Amino acid sequence: MQNYLIILMTAPIWLSFLYLLWRIFILPFTIPKAEINLLSIELIQKHGDEANKFAFINEDRAWRYSNARDQAKWHLVGKKIRKTR
């Protein structure tokens, strides 16, 4: 009985840990690199030197609306823009 109680009480910790693993390591690999390259090229062509700023704005918007996939996508786009500059 005591083992079940320990498992039940630590479940939120383990679930939070698994969720963070998903967000940090697995989710970015589900976004195609072609999509990231295309978005970074479009932002650079459209906004020039301010492209990174617009990628951050979109990342922040995705964070505010709790859209983890879009947040990861725009983070990778911003990283790609910083790497090419």
- Domain spans in the chain, listed from the N-terminal domain onward: 1-27, 31-85
Distances 6 to 15, 16, 17, 40 between C-alpha atoms, Å: 14, 16, 17, 47
Q: State the 10-residue block means of pLDDT for the chain, 85 residues long.
A: 85 93 88 96 96 97 93 95 91
Q: What is the pLDDT of residue 1?
A: 72
Q: What is the pLDDT of residue 53?
A: 97
Give the H/E segment covering residue 37: helix 33-47
Answering whether pTM is above 0.85, one says no
Q: What is the pLDDT of residue 65?
A: 96
Q: What is the pLDDT of residue 24?
A: 84
